[in-house]
Chain A
């Protein structure tokens, strides 16, 4: 078996002094797609942010190893340069910064400025935009400013396509997408997946997994993975819901906040 791309051991994460992740374990090997499902407030976005290195998410215990290296001390930009990518659940608007300029800066930082020629970059960007059904004039629009929910999600996947990560974390990329957009975005992701790459698909609903087929499915409840299995687990969850799991595993957890 190949060496793990990502190894999460006994991960504990607190936000503003509140313990959210409480002993999470997960191993992702190259070529694997893992789905993480769980009710609202179970800690899915907390895991995403902690993996990306958000300074407000404190790792209070446990370890994260990426390509054999402990990444605890790496700032977010270092993680990005090393090939970790997060498609945000709620992408942030950056007024006054055009998507094209932003992506050029990002690609330069990740690939090295010397390896990026503006003309080739432009061509590559236009091709990727076309694949994802994003109009060309979006390159001149300010990052996420005034974008609809679906447009934001497409643009997240556009960034993934341009940055070509080794580990992609998709945090509820399906939310806000109608069925056609969902298909386009999922196909976009599938095109990008390589045998060296690992993908964490985080979702509340099963429907995205009809398009991006996971090898493994994990259920996150109250900051821990309480059940793991194959793709069939997602269908099972869809049928019976999270209630029962919450009763068994969520009892000692903070109450679930709707819409979190």
Chain B
């Protein structure tokens, strides 16, 4: 379901009041929007001189003058088997049903650091909530689809998803974002909170329509001994800027951030990851593979921060780039800030074109040139996808990559 707001987005309180009313929210949620609007107005616009915005123009994400699209997400389960108890619902419903998970909004928070986070909170127009029950392992992956159907351009869509993994709960959640043709600003915010011992696999499939500029912010908080695997799958959209942050706040927490980008045409993907170690004995791993065709461009910035005293930290980071065309371009920027002395941190980046030896090896086994290339590219993705658990999930993701590859390579 989509509804377009009547008015163009502006800085008057009336625009957020109407949204809040239409979405049937409690009063405190409107108050939270008001605070966010004030923060949006106050906070400075990011400048191109700022490190995070050097390679993607921040002014692309100005919301003013756009019409807001409201979208209710669809929920289903991947794979086969028993139905699982429902654990998710649209974000705005959860505000009333699960107020305990929104203490921050009810108690005068959050404090916004970034203008775009405030933008999402002020004009939130979709999103989902998932509560993974305590001490329960959910067998089948939960899939949440946010699809913006035909809309009046220029449009804007601000989904907010919140997933809470309660103590020792375990689940897989897949969120996919898509949109119809036309100029759309999409700025999803995802926050993941894992309580002690919780375990989550979270996949974000970014398959926006060709006219979409997407600004994605994912923030994860990991408490003691919790485990998180995130996969960011960058397939669609014209321009994508994404910030993916894992905050390891409890000892023994473990985070793995995986990324797969298949860029084609003139697509631009600019992704920042941050492995934020606040406490000792955490481990974090980043593996980000980008395949680039035609005149596409990708930027990967891998930040590792180890706070003073966060001893026995293990932090790894790897970025691989497969350049399928002479005009494609990939940047890889590692940024390490390590303020503890007893840690292990490694990082590395590779840039390759089709490997001639691999090509010849496959051809010597009867595969034609084009098939050999497809197999090499498939392998490049598969290596990342297979880090996830669950055959139905792996198969679904492999299918998505395959579709994009076929669309990009042609027949």
Q: Which residues of A contact B (CB under 8 A)?
A: 52-56, 75-77, 79-81, 85-86, 88, 91-98, 102, 105-106, 109-110, 142, 159, 163
Q: Is the CB of A77 within 8 A of B367?
A: yes
Q: Kindly provide the distance from the CB of B290 to the nearest chain A CB, expressed in whole angstroms.
A: 14
Contact of A163 among B365, B379, B382, B386 (CB under 8 A): B365
Is B357 close to A, CB under 8 A? Answer: yes
In the complex, which residues of chain B have a beta carbon less than 8 angstroms from the beta carbon of A94? Answer: 358, 361-362, 375-376, 379
B27 at the interface (CB under 8 A from A): no
Could you write out 26 A-B pairs with CB less than 8 Å apart? A54-B360, A76-B363, A77-B367, A77-B372, A80-B363, A88-B361, A88-B364, A91-B361, A92-B355, A92-B360, A93-B358, A95-B379, A96-B380, A96-B383, A97-B376, A97-B379, A97-B382, A102-B362, A105-B365, A105-B367, A106-B362, A106-B366, A109-B365, A142-B379, A163-B365, A163-B366
Extra 16 A-B pairs, beta carbons < 8 Å, given A94-B376, A96-B383: A52-B364, A55-B356, A76-B363, A77-B365, A77-B368, A77-B369, A79-B364, A86-B364, A88-B364, A92-B355, A92-B358, A94-B362, A96-B378, A96-B386, A97-B375, A105-B375
Q: Which 9 A-B pairs have the closest CB atoms?
A: A96-B379, A109-B366, A96-B383, A106-B365, A97-B379, A96-B382, A80-B366, A76-B363, A92-B361
Of A93, A98, A109, A159, the residue contacting B368 (CB under 8 A) is A109
Secondary structure at the A interface, as helix, strand, loop or mixed, is mixed
Shortest CB–CB separation between residue B7 and chain A, in angstroms?
Answer: 49
Q: What's the interface size class on B, roughly?
A: 20 to 34
Interface-central residue, B362, B375, B381, B386, by most chain A CB under 10 Å: B362
Does B371 lie at the interface of the complex (its beta carbon under 8 Å from any beta carbon of A)? yes
Which residues of B sit under 8 angstroms from A97, Cβ to Cβ? Answer: 375-376, 378-379, 382
Shortest CB–CB separation between residue A147 and chain B, in angstroms?
13
Bound CA span A75–B369, Å: 9
Contacts of A109 in B (CB 8 A): 365-368, 371
Task: Kindly provide the distance from the CB of B152 to the nearest chain A CB, expressed in whole angstroms.
Answer: 42
Contacts of B356 in A (CB 8 A): 55-56
Interface residue ranges, B against A (CB under 8 Å): 355-358, 360-369, 371-372, 375-376, 378-383, 386
Give min CB distance, B103 to chain A, whole Å.
43
Q: Which residue of B lies closest to A85 (CB)?
A: B364
Assembled-state Cα–Cα distance A255/B42 (Å): 75
What separation, in Å, do the CA atoms of A47 and B320 have in the docked complex?
A: 34
Q: Measured between C-beta atoms, what is the minimum distance from B302 to chain A in Å? A: 20
With a cutoff of 8 Å between Cβ atoms, the chain B residues found around residue A163 in the complex are 365-366
What is the minimal beta-carbon distance from B97 to any residue of chain A, in angstroms? Answer: 42
Contacts of B372 in A (CB 8 A): 77
What is the distance, in angstroms, from B35's C-beta to the closest C-beta of chain A? 47
Question: Nearest Cβ distance between residue B396 and chain A, in whole angstroms?
Answer: 17
Which residues in B have their C-beta under 8 angstroms from that of A98? 382
The docked-state distance in angstroms from the alpha carbon of A102 to that of B375 is 8
Minimum C-beta distance from A259 to chain B (A): 19
Q: How far is the CA of A77 from the CA of B363 in the complex (A)?
A: 5
Contact (Cβ within 8 A) B365 A102 = yes
Compute how far the CA of A97 lies from the CA of B360 in the bound complex, rounded to whole angstroms: 15
Q: Which residues of B contact A159 (CB under 8 A)?
A: 365
Structural contact, B364 and A80, CB atoms closer than 8 A: yes
| Nearest-CB residue, chain A, relative to B365 | A106
A127–B360 Cα distance when bound, in Å, is: 27
Complex CA–CA separation, A81 to B371 (angstroms): 14
| A94–B380 CA distance with the chains assembled, in angstroms | 9
Cα distance A81–B367 in the bound complex, in angstroms: 9
Given contacts A77-B363, A97-B379, A142-B379, contact A105 B371 (CB under 8 A): yes
Point out the residues of chain A lying under 8 angstroms from B383, CB to CB. Answer: 95-96, 142
Report the minimal beta-carbon distance from B289 to chain A, rounded to whole angstroms. Answer: 9
Residue of A nearest to B385 (CB): A96
User: What separation, in Å, do the CA atoms of A93 and B358 have in the docked complex?
Assistant: 7
**Given the complex, which residues of B lie within 8 Å of A80, measured CB to CB?**
363-366
Instruction: Say yes or no: A75-B363 contact (C-beta < 8 A), given A92-B357, A96-B381.
Output: yes
Minimal beta-carbon separation of B388 from chain A (angstroms) = 14
With A and B bound together, what is the CA distance between A102 and B365 in angstroms? 9
Question: Which residues of A sit under 8 angstroms from B375, Cβ to Cβ?
Answer: 94, 97, 102, 105
Closest to B384 in A: A96
Please, which residues of chain B bring their CB within 8 A of the CB of A92? Answer: 355, 357-358, 360-361
CA distance A81 to B356 in the complex (A): 20
In Å, the complex CA distance between A80 and B360 comes to 11
Complex CA–CA separation, A81 to B363 (angstroms): 10
